Amino acid sequence: MDIQRGLVVRAKSGRDKNRFFVVICCDGEYAYIADGKTRRLEKPKRKNVKHLFVTNTVIPVDSINTDKLIKSQLRDFNV
């Protein structure tokens, strides 16, 4: 599975199940994800890649600089 920065993913398990996040960075088996609300850029969630469902949406890297921008980009997903 190819996980890249800016990719929109959905959590398959855990307390954040079925919520959408943006990948901040990835180091092999783990991805660091944030949604700008409960998981902020300062403290992203470390999540195993096998617990993420990859969508076909990639957010431009310049749009994931602040929590406010991440929240606005994910607004359509987290309905």
Q: Could you tell me the pTM of the whole model?
A: 0.91
| Contact of 22 with 68, CB cutoff 8 Å | no
- Tens digit of each residue's pLDDT (9 = 90 or more) over 24-69: 999 989 999 999 999 999 999 999 999 999 999 999 888 788 999 9
- CA–centroid distance for 51 within its chain: 12
CATH number at 7-74 = 2.30.30.30
2 pLDDT band, cuts 50/70/90, is: confident
Element (H, E) at 71: helix 67-74
Structural domain boundaries of the chain?
Answer: 7-74
Query: Which residues, in sequence order, are CB contacts of 47 under 8 Å at separation 6+?
Result: 11, 14, 21, 30, 31, 32, 33
Cα separation of 69 and 53, whole Å?
22
Cα separation of 38 and 43, whole Å?
10
